[in-house]
Structure 1
Amino acid sequence: MSSQFNYQINYGAGTPGASPRIDPAAPLYASEDGVVASLSNNECIFQVKRSGETHVMTFQVLQALDQSREFRTLDEHVARIMATIPGLASQREGVVRVLESLTRRGLLVSDSEFLKRVAGAAAAEPEPLRAVFIRACERPDRVERLLATLADYERRFRANRHYVLLDDSTSRDAANRHRDLLREFARATGCKLTYIGAAERQRLLDSLARAVPQAAQSLAWLAGGSEPGRFGGGRSWNVAMLLSAGARAILLDDDHRLPLRRLEDMREGLDPNPSAASTTRFFRNIDNALGAGEEVEEDPFELHLDVVGRPLGALTSSRRYAIEPAALRGLTLSRLDHLHGGAPIRTTHHGSYGSARSESGLWLYHLSPEDRAEFTRDRDSYLRNVEGGSVWYGYRQARAAGAGTFSPFAFDNSVMLPCTNPLGRGEDALFSSVAELCHDGALMLELPLAIGHVQESQRKRSTQTLAAHAPRFNYFVTDFVRRQLPQFNADDPAQRLRLLAAHLRDIGGANERGCLRQLQDYLAYSRADLIERLQNQYDGAPDAPVYWQADVRTIIQENGKALIAKAPPRLGDWPEGIDEAACATRLRKETTELAGAYEAWPALWSCARDQGARLLGAV
């Protein structure tokens, strides 16, 4: 039996008949996915992917099964089959009998059966919260504002949480100011505070290096790697992962601020659609953005801690995360593979209000028609909106997926979560893709909430947006993980991380010509994919304002020029003007460093887990 021939016959739309009346109370059904092997000219074996069960059927029955892939009522399936498969236009009773038989055999799954699968999960109490970690670097004014909102939170909810400031500042004045702010916060709230600056971090590294000497070099890079002019937020991220090993954690940045807020039209329940559209709203200024929506009345931290570390099935039984049967309409079971009851929630996410979290505005040209209308409603607001300085970005309803794009809020680090690159932006996307790789079937849960995000100054994003796309190194690795890795079969996350390291060493082990070819292929793919998606947006919006159309054409043209240019294949965070040899050297160096870190991480994480809270207490 072939295990490669996925069943997807798709005999065409046929001649549509009269549309059946849709009963909103009628159950929905969708066919199981499977693989097919021929037995004769008329019969085949169908093996269900999910269970491995085999069924013998005629090819005509297989055609009927193929036309029932989406969740719809039986009447709708009957009408489609009669209109699509030749010779069945007047065979309604026979088609109904076939579908009833497929239902009895479990090959047509009802909405209630599917939701029972999702709801099935063993109860599990997650590990306790270790601390709330705050990444800070050279911005005492941001830290002051964040701590003020956290003090308001503590006065309101009396949570008495442990806060840890991970200070990456090199300025003595900034570090001293951060310490003063923490002392003031402790006096105001009575909360336990831990400051980890350069000296404290070095003590931590020395302690772990003595315990795991074979990982000392990679540890120094993971928590202390630096390069002039290059973002280094991954250093504190990795320290937080070590200090929270074996427990749960919350991670904030110094430019965040509470409260969490939600849109007025937020909906309860879990949206099962993995491609659910996000919501973007635009505001005249940052103050308007910070006041948008409704403040969350519940403890915002508990909203995340109530779900992170728990199985999905334990959540969907509650009204807050229940899946409505009607939400399944039009979806196939293959698109819902990620929704199984035992899938653990490893991280939680939410949107943001205030400053956009991306350094480029390319995402603004892929908005839904509704959001695009607001984005482009007049030229003055459009020119303001393209800089992403006053926006709301998030979801109206909770959603689950394998990986997120932006930094998680809460982590379940009771089982090994991976490290990330200490250097370069996109460390959050890299973390999420590697976490998904390490924990096959685990999920992130995006809540329909948003946190304040206020940068120290307004950024000029449009310049980068209108230039040729030059993805950074961390996105190069992220896309490699998502697009090019073969299927891993190992269950152990440490083994999966080592397998990834081996593939990265293979990239870095190429000669100069091989390195350049890999970079050229990646940049060609990234730019061609961007051009195609933007062209589809352009073609689908003929009535869009001319200034939007002009900018889309500019982006397409600049990326088209870059596609055919004979320039060195430079990634976005490498120095401008470097030649081909330097690009190859960079690729070898950075993939080898990251591979070494992934190889060393399991031993470091295990050592940190064994010490537990004592490791944080000793800093």
Structure 2
Amino acid sequence: MSDEPKVSYSFQMNTGAPQSRTEGAPAQPVRQEADQMLYAVDDFESLSVAGGTLLVGKHTGAQLLSQPQVAMVLQHCLEFRTLGEHAQRLTALFPQLGGNVNDALRVLGLVKDSGLMISAGSICERVNQSVSTNAVDRTKSFIITCDRPAAVARLLESLLHNGKLAQQKQLYLIDDSRQAENARHNREAVEQFNLVSPSTLAYIGPEEQADLITKLCAALPEDEPAVRFLFSREEWGGQKTYGRSRNLCLLLSVGERAVILDDDVLAMAVARPGTENAPVVADGMRSAEFYQDMTGWQRQWQPLDFDPLAGHGRCLGQSLAQALAEFGSEGLQPGQLAGASLSLFRDLHAESSVLVTQSGAVGDPGTTNNAWLPNLGSDNVRSMLASEGGLHTALTTRQCWVGQPRNTVTKRAVMSQVTGLDNRAELPPYFPALRGEDQLFGIMLDFLIPDSVVLEYAWSVPHLPVENRAGNPQGDSVVPKGGLQLLGSWLGEFKPFDASVDYDTRMDLLAARLDTLAQLSPSGLVARYRALLTRAQGFALQTLNDRLADTGTLDANWKGYLENNARACVAALQQPAALADIPDVPDDVDESAIVQVIQTRAAGFATALRAWRRIREVAPTL
């Protein structure tokens, strides 16, 4: 073996010969930045040209000629950090940089000076402009249920004890029950509730829903296919129609603020002692805590002096500037954007509307399995492994808290057992069936109204399913299989870069994108499915590797769980995916039939989007 020192190349901006330094030689000390401002790199195109690689900012239009490796490493600078933090992170991620932090810092300074970086301060300046105060009216509140009359009865009792029902404009129970006996129990529960409630609860069961559909079809005969796609259960056979119930909520609240409750929550806002009130801007990734049993969290969480209906109405429909002031914040500060993605928050301004509000859940997490655990941040994982029972408890008990430790401004609308929707804005419809309808709604909302925001409160609601939900002690697979999440990726690829593109054009783009999906050849559809799924699986593998790097040494079982899933992701990436792998596809359906169903549903959703405005205009007259 040679004793000669190894040579590694440093991070260079010019296109001449790279400088080198000897491994083992002391690294240069990191120079102090003139300021601690936060920066993120603008999305950019990279073009190979004579003399190097030309970087062109997609939003700023800034240009920079660099070496090819610069374009590669700048893909890891899309979140707000100081230049020093960026430099330290890049040298840790890329051993080929030779640990030369000062070189990285120098080049990042040149990138900033070229205009390819955007400062957190520039976004704060827009957000902190003075705005007028928006008056808000009372909310309409909706309970959505399907074949759980015991849960409905418990929630109604909770509303009577804890809810400020006189402050509600109207209450609704949207009943999607398949069993006539369950629907009958729910109707009777509503009748009993109305005998003592200060606000009337309207029962919207099968007959009432059929009447709404009939009236819509009569008013919009040319849009009958769209109406039935969005609102008719018969359109979907035996599939679970989670989004259909939410579409009925939207239909009955056009021009209003609405709060939607799952049937298995309690009408009670709870929080841990010491919860911070000051807001933060973040990517929306949630935190979690795990408990051995129900008494574990009941001892810690304390009821607050408001109910969830009033709590969601606090900021729903306000401007971002108003919402920040509501929590005592003196505007948005650059530090509140630390670690946040520029692509998520580029379009924020003072008048950005809080169109969705969310809250955490304590008790059952509400997920179909425990495959979400690797998505937790490293601090949450450390807390999970240090808690009583460690990983085993997290995998098996389904007694935990999932939410935000601080009031959080984000762009990600995710599953929330209680959700606020400002339906005075032209919100999109939900996809009527299958799971993942809430994430798809969030993607479409950001596509259509890119300067809107989601606010997740730091408080939670108890989520207590009446049926027994056991966790899988072996851990569920995290390998993505497809579903509405891939449809969201397909639609989001064509989101316009410029926020000034108007709503109508954006809706046309969404519908055209769905029409394109409906008209792909079978081989083309399979190819796009595989490309999107491979990307999702690659992201899952990267997440697993990140968790292995930052927490894999903490617990042997956790390390084994991550490694097993990482191997499964690698195996999935090495095999061409089949449409039959999509969740909820019956085993006996061949690929050609699956293609036909996907294309029919895509075309139906495109038709529904084009009719949506007309449906909304008619809705208040029903």
TM-score by length of 1: 0.80
Instruction: State the partner residue of 1:220.
Output: 228
What secondary structure does 2:296 align onto? helix
Instruction: State the partner residue of 1:582.
Output: 593
What CA distance in whole angstroms lies between the structure 2 residues aligned with 1:589 and 1:465? Answer: 35
Q: Do the aligned residues in 2 keep the contact of 1:119 with 1:312 (CA within 8 Å)?
A: no
What CA distance in whole angstroms lies between the structure 1 residues aligned with 2:390 and 2:44? Answer: 52
Q: 1:362 aligns with which of 345, 354, 371?
A: 371
Deviation at 1:485, TM superposition (A): 4.9
* 1:88-167 correspondence to structure 2 within 5 Å: 115-126=124-135, 128-154=137-163, 158-167=166-175
Q: 1:281 aligns with which of 289, 295, 305?
A: 289
* 1:446-465 correspondence to structure 2 within 5 Å: 446-462=456-472
Q: Do the aligned residues in 1 keep the contact of 2:514 with 2:606 (CA within 8 Å)?
A: yes
What CA distance in whole angstroms lies between the structure 2 residues aligned with 1:222 and 1:441? Answer: 26
Q: 2:306 aligns with which of 298, 312, 324?
A: 298
What CA distance in whole angstroms lies between the structure 1 residues aligned with 2:561 and 2:83? Answer: 44
- CA distance 1:33–1:428, shift in 2 (3 Å): closer
What CA distance in whole angstroms lies between the structure 1 residues aligned with 2:239 and 2:387? Answer: 36
Task: Tell me whether 1:538 sits opposite 2:548 in the alignment.
Answer: yes
Q: Do the aligned residues in 2 keep the contact of 1:472 with 1:573 (CA within 8 Å)?
A: no
Instruction: State the partner residue of 1:5.
Output: none
Amino acid at match of 1:475: Q
Q: Do the aligned residues in 2 keep the contact of 1:168 with 1:197 (CA within 8 Å)?
A: yes
Task: Tell me whether 1:202 sits opposite 2:210 in the alignment.
Answer: yes
Render the CA deviation track for 1:11-68: whole Å, top value 9, x for unaligned: 999965466599xxx98576996999xxxxxxxxx9999899x999xxxxxxxxx99x
What CA distance in whole angstroms lies between the structure 2 residues aligned with 1:181 and 1:167? Answer: 12
Unaligned runs of 5+ in 1: 1-7, 37-45, 57-65, 89-94
- CA distance 1:146–1:30, shift in 2 (3 Å): same
Q: Do the aligned residues in 2 keep the contact of 1:35 with 1:48 (CA within 8 Å)?
A: yes
Instruction: State the partner residue of 1:389.
Output: 398
Deviation at 1:264, TM superposition (A): 2.4
Instruction: State the partner residue of 1:524.
Output: 534
* Further displaced range: 546-555 or 355-364: 546-555
Deviation at 1:383, TM superposition (A): 2.7
Instruction: Name the count of aligned residue pairs.
Output: 577
Instruction: State the partner residue of 2:69.
Output: none
Deviation at 1:352, TM superposition (A): 0.8
Q: Do the aligned residues in 2 keep the contact of 1:127 with 1:247 (CA within 8 Å)?
A: no
What CA distance in whole angstroms lies between the structure 2 residues aligned with 1:395 and 1:402? Answer: 14
- CA distance 1:602–1:287, shift in 2 (3 Å): farther
What CA distance in whole angstroms lies between the structure 2 residues aligned with 1:192 and 1:403? Answer: 33
* 1:336-347 correspondence to structure 2 within 5 Å: 336-347=345-356
What secondary structure does 2:585 align onto? coil
Deviation at 1:365, TM superposition (A): 1.8
Q: Do the aligned residues in 2 keep the contact of 1:468 with 1:555 (CA within 8 Å)?
A: yes
Render the CA deviation track for 1:162-217: whole Å, top value 9, x for unaligned: 21000111322211211221122222322211111111111111111111111112
What CA distance in whole angstroms lies between the structure 2 residues aligned with 1:443 and 1:201? Answer: 31
Unaligned runs of 5+ in 2: 1-11, 22-26, 46-54, 65-73, 88-99
* 1:305-324 correspondence to structure 2 within 5 Å: 305-321=313-329, 322-324=331-333
Amino acid at match of 2:436: G
What CA distance in whole angstroms lies between the structure 2 residues aligned with 1:170 and 1:86? Answer: 61
* Further displaced range: 312-321 or 503-512: 312-321
Instruction: State the partner residue of 1:188.
Output: 196
Deviation at 1:597, TM superposition (A): 1.6
- CA distance 1:123–1:460, shift in 2 (3 Å): same
What CA distance in whole angstroms lies between the structure 1 residues aligned with 2:44 and 2:522? Answer: 42
Task: Tell me whether 1:400 sits opposite 2:412 in the alignment.
Answer: no
Task: Tell me whether 1:434 sits opposite 2:429 in the alignment.
Answer: no
Q: Do the aligned residues in 1 keep the contact of 2:290 with 2:393 (CA within 8 Å)?
A: no
Render the CA deviation track for 1:211-255: whole Å, top value 9, x for unaligned: 111111221121113545532121111111111111111111111
Instruction: State the partner residue of 2:91.
Output: none
Instruction: State the partner residue of 1:600.
Output: 611
* Further displaced range: 322-331 or 520-529: 322-331
What secondary structure does 1:540 align onto? helix
Deviation at 1:512, TM superposition (A): 1.8
- Fraction of identical pairs, as percent: 21
Instruction: State the partner residue of 2:571.
Output: 561
What CA distance in whole angstroms lies between the structure 1 residues aligned with 2:543 and 2:103? Answer: 34
